[in-house]
Amino acid sequence: MTSKKITRALVSVFYKDGLDAIVHELAKQNVEFISTGGTQEFIEKLGYQVTPVEQLTGYPSIFGGRVKTLHPAVFGGILYRREESGDVKEAEEFKIAPIDLVIVDLYPFEETVAKGGGEEDVIEKIDIGGISLIRGAAKNFKDVLIVSSRAQYAEVLELLKTKNSSSDLADRKRFAALAFEVTSHYDSAIFTYFNQEQNIISFKSSYPNGKALRYGENPHQRGVYFGELEKLFDQLNGKELSYNNLVDVDAAINLIKEFDETAFVIIKHTNACGVATASSVKEAYLKAFQADTVSAFGGVLATNKKIDLQAAEEINKLFFEILVAPEFDLSALELLKSKKNRIILKQKQNLTAAKQFKSLLNGVIEQDLDLHTDSQADLKTMTRRAPTQQETNALLFASKICKHTKSNTIILAVEGQMFSSGVGQTSRVDALKQAIEKAKSFGFDLNGAAMASDAFFPFPDCVEIASQHGITAVIQPGGSIKDQDSIDFCNNHNMAMVFTGFRHFKH
């Protein structure tokens, strides 16, 4: 029979919130409790008798609590196979009683690291006995039910109530799978901590708390998000975020964090169709919207400052999917929430990741995030004419956008306003032509505008075309064997060109 009655439970947890209901339910079925330290006191205060682990093992807790449960009387009771005659005989010979339920969680290792704990404190939060108990109970799921996290308390309580403190094989196997998810994540966190100094080339990344999405990039694809969005955002309005929403929000907040001054970005399919800075959110939005009043429809909007009513009144005229901001005036929020499906996110913190990875071929590739923002200190004037301060400001502004746009890309801008972008083209010339055509279709005069390129110009054709349309300043990383051809053309046409030394490919 797959159903097993729980008669004896080992309970030893760090977090005790929610544990009382489980203890009461087990006590109703006369389950015997084995426990240690604080958990033992907790159960006894609820009015139930507890067998101390020390009584079971014949040893006290030693080495500052590092060794408590590591003993055959404990692990034998968990691991011996009830249907193996040899195991049963040995259990009887060594007086090892069965343990049918193990409720154990792990020391808060990640929390200690996150709080900036010193090395000694962090090391002491590496659980030994707990993780061994979890693995042992999960391995012997045919006989033992394992509860490895307080996140499982509600589910196991319902199980105990429904089945009178019994469990079926399917129940035990599910909780075993949950247990190995807990232990694998814990071990990955420990490895990551140690590998900060060692730099061992090994890919270990664990994200618990997966959330199923409506679908993936397309309706026929399954989608799941792994992470803790609630730490980044408070969702103030709207429907559930989709896969594509999440991808675009990521693009939006990575771009907006480039700016200290008041800025506004409009994203469509991860690329900016409008970016501007100004003295107010309203003005920044209107300037960003000007760049592409068509693509902004259904876009993802983000700003780095509080949205007031004046800004909200303008933004509310547009149909958009998502708006992200650090704060909202109450009157602004009330107006923006008038559309029930409109997603409004209050951003609580910036992204802090330093690495990115993705699946590729039959493996995974990982790299450092492109965290370099081109600054005035990076600029090396390559032409006889240096850019004016106004041109320099425009070049650096355009470069920030270029870094977050799909290659090959060209950005055309003036100080504080993007005019247009050429995005994801196989030819840099095509990217420039696309940007010029788009800027002119929305009424922008390119005379005196700046041009940013994510990579070097292999030929002078881009600066030649740019000059024909009145563009006077260029920023690029440099590095082509034919750089001088572009420099010579700029010198002969009174254009300023600066090199940064930093390429910003984005694929």
Chain Cα centroid distance, residue 48? 43
Task: Tell me which residue of 10, 137, 34, 12 sits closest to 79, measured CA to CA.
Answer: 137
493 an active-site residue?
no
For helices 72-79 and 129-139, give the axis angle rounded to 10 degrees: 30
Taken as a whole, the chain contains a residue count of 507
Q: How far is CA 111 from CA 107, 126, 182, 284, 302, in A?
A: 9, 12, 15, 39, 30
Pairing, β 32-35 against β 8-12: parallel
Place of tokens 């440099």: 478
Beta-carbon count within 10 A of 264 CB: 30
- Amino acid (1-letter code) at residue 432: L
* Cα 362 from Cα 381, distance rounded (Å): 44
SS3 content of the chain, % helix, strand, coil (to 5): 40, 20, 40
Instruction: Check if 269 is active-site.
Output: yes
Distance CA 500, CA 400 (A): 12
Instruction: Enter the tokens of residue 43.
Output: 């159960």
Burial 83-103 (b: 16+ CB within 10 A, else e): eeeebeeebeeeebbbbbbbb
- 275 and 401 in contact (C-beta within 8 Å)? yes
Contact (CB, 8 A) for 344 and 237:
yes
The residue annotated as part of the active site, out of 71, 269, 306, 339, is 269
Q: How far apart are CA 405 and CA 270, in angstroms?
A: 8
Q: Which of 16, 24, 125, 139 is catalytic?
A: 139
- Mark 444-469 as b/e (b = at least 16 C-beta within 10 Å): bebeebbbbbbbbbbebbbbbbbbeb
Counting DSSP H helices and E strands in the chain, the numbers are 19, 23
d(CA 459, CA 27): 81
Rounded Cα distance, 39 and 78, in Å: 19
What is the Cα–Cα distance from 427 to 446, expressed in whole angstroms? 21
> Residue 491: which residues within 8 A CB-CB, separation 6 or more?
383, 384, 385
- Residue 300 β-bridge partners: 267, 322
Render 291-348 in DSSP notation, one character per residue. T-TTTTTT-EEEESS-B-HHHHHHHTTS--SEEEES-B-HHHHHHHTTSTT-EEEEE-
Catalytic residues: 139, 269
